[in-house]
Amino acid sequence: MAREQWGSKIGVIMAVAGSAIGLGNFLRFPGQVAQHGGGAFMIPYFIALLLLGLPLMWIEWTIGRFGGGFGHSTAPGMFHSLWEKNRFIKYFGVIGIFGPIVIALYYIYIESWLLAYSFFALTGSYETCATSEMMLSFLRGYQGLEQNQYFSSLWPAYSFFLLTFALNGVILYFGVQRGIEQVCKYGVPLLLILAMILLARVFLLGTPDPAQPENSVLGGLGFIWNPDWSALTRAKVWLAAAGQVFFTLSCGIGVILTYASYLGRNDDVALSGLTAASANEFAEVVLGGSLVIPAAFAFFGASTMTVIAQSGVFNLGFVTMPLVLQKIAHGNFFGFIWFLLLFIAGVTSSISLAQPAIAFLEDEFNLNRRQSVLGLMTAIFLFSQPAIFFLGRGVVDEMDFWGGSFFLVLFATVETILFGWVFGMDRAWSELHTGSDITIPRFYRWIIKYVTPLFLLLILGSWLFQDWLPVLFCQGVPEENLPYIIGTRLMLFTLFAGLALMVRWSWQRRAVNSGGGYDD
């Protein structure tokens, strides 16, 4: 079966950028900056971007294109191609399929909230919610966490989930070039335009209440950007900056590997990786940093803003922003734009999460596109039900820990060591520059080989001891939620083991077909 290919260079760049631009750019980033020293946060942020983010981008683009040359679109085959003598490395590559599936299990559901809220904004469904408490109650009612005057069942949320799920399935069914590429080629510029429209509106807010001149958009920008130099002496701030850079670029998930595998042998990866990263940074620093917090600050002021910034990304997006936009003229329209842009950002990310598993089924089991999409979407649909029905039991947080945090950093650390040390820096550098449209400064050889892996090991170690061990041992989990957490872990373990078995079968089949050339 012929492998799929991208139709254009800008198409693959938009697809990778679309995968990276998500809720984190518009909601997580401004909260992180405001909490960790304002403008001073940007010093560790930019250092992490140069030493961690860009090298990881180039590593993943290069490994992806290299693996694609051997007919592999996913990490098990790619890692095997990088380290042929090691029999077990392909099983480690399973993370590159497992991680994105786990994220997709809850991400598509959250994405469906955005579609629902776009609809609610247009129809004025939450117009009666005049306070944060009422808006939060609206959200909790929608999520099925409580029955209230706004919602009496989970069915509205489930209907929007089915709609969003079907949309993802249809896009994926059309394939890499006619589905993913077309959606991202138009979707990413559209979401950037929508964000710029909203940005212009937010900047025009000025000082909404002349009686409180300190509550202004400029004050909000100051809340984000005024530097607190003492933050630079705190290790936590440096780790937070590295974490933000790492998560925002969608590295360590396996998606970039798969997308890059559809490139030709002499297609550029150096400039493409940089362009995708810069598009993501534009969406994050310029647009994301100027929307939610300045708007909320202008209406609520500094003290309330601090509470809001620390209350979590969902509250910023689903509670604060609709409240703010309701207060301005044509608020329904701007509310619609806000949720639509987040929904588009969500769709371009969720389709990327499904692609590695689809590619795995196509490459290693010779299934056609239709069979692969049907098989994967059925599995995602079944496994995502706990995230919908047991949201209040910590199931989504548990999935996010494994798929969206723990395995991501582990995977990135191993692939970086594989690239710079096992594959070898000379070959790696030459591979990175094959067909390249730019020349990367030579000191990046040194950074990729020494600095990036050390940086990742440092992050892995600190997070493991500071944040992850309590989660691993379920510390602080209410007793009534424990069965749900254990159930989720069992489900994820079954999924991982199933994928590992599939890798084993696939390699055995290849070994038979190639007369023993593929060792197991």
- Residue 218 interacts with other proteins (CB under 8 A)? yes
- Which of 40, 114, 418, 477 is the binder for other proteins (CB under 8 A)? 40
**H/E element holding 350?**
helix 331-365
If the CB atoms of residues 42 and 325 are measured against other proteins, the closer one turns out to be 42
- Write out the binding residues for other proteins, residues 268-307 only, by CB under 8 A: 271-272, 274-275, 278-279, 281-282, 285-286
Pick the closer one to other proteins by CB: 115 or 285: 285
CA dihedral 320, 244, 164, 157 (to 10 degrees): -40
The CB-side HSE value for 42 (13 A sphere, CA atoms) comes to 12
Q: How far apart are CA 112 and CA 169, in angstroms?
A: 14
For other proteins, the closer CB: 443 or 473: 443
Stretch near other proteins under the rule CB under 8 A, chosen from 37-45, 176-184, 414-422, 507-515 = 37-45
Q: Which residue, 134 or 199, has its beta carbon nearer to other proteins?
A: 199
**Pair 191, 344: CB distance under 8 Å:** yes
Question: Measured from the CB atom, is 3 or 9 closer to other proteins?
Answer: 9
Query: From the list 4, 6, 11, 13, which residue makes contact with other proteins (rule: CB under 8 A)?
Result: 13
Q: In angstroms, what is the minimal distance from the CB of 292 to other proteins?
A: 16
**Least distance between other proteins and beta carbon 34 (Å):** 12
Nearer to other proteins, 194 or 285 (CB): 285
Within the chain, what is the greatest distance between any pair of CA atoms? 82
How would you class 210 by CB atoms within 10 Å of its CB: exposed for 0-12, middle for 13-18, buried for 19 or more?
exposed
Q: According to CB under 8 A, which one of 18, 30, 31, 38 is a site residue for other proteins? A: 38
Pairwise CA distance, residues 433 & 376, whole Å: 35
Q: Using the rule CB under 8 A, is 227 a contact of other proteins?
A: yes
Count of residues engaged in binding other proteins, rule: CB under 8 A: 28
Of residues 43-82, which lie at the interface with other proteins (CB under 8 A)? Answer: 46
Find the angle CA(89)-CA(103)-CA(417) to the nearest 5 degrees. 30
Pick 222 or 487: Cβ nearer other proteins: 222
Confirm or reject binding of residue 9 to other proteins (CB under 8 A).
yes
Closer residue to other proteins (CB): 293 or 414: 293
Long-range contacts: 230-234, Cβ < 8 Å, 24+? 230/37, 231/36, 231/37, 231/38, 231/40, 231/41, 232/37, 232/40, 232/43, 232/44, 234/37
Q: From the CB of residue 262, how many other CB atoms can be counted at a distance below 10 Å?
A: 24
| Token pair of 433 as six digits | 């520059």
Query: For residue 300, how many C-alpha atoms fall within 13 Å in the half-sphere facing its CB?
Result: 25
Residue ranges in 424-453 that form contacts with other proteins under rule CB under 8 A = 437-438
Interacting residues toward other proteins by CB under 8 A: 9-10, 13, 38-40, 42, 46, 218-219, 221-222, 224-227, 271-272, 274-275, 278-279, 281-282, 285-286, 437-438
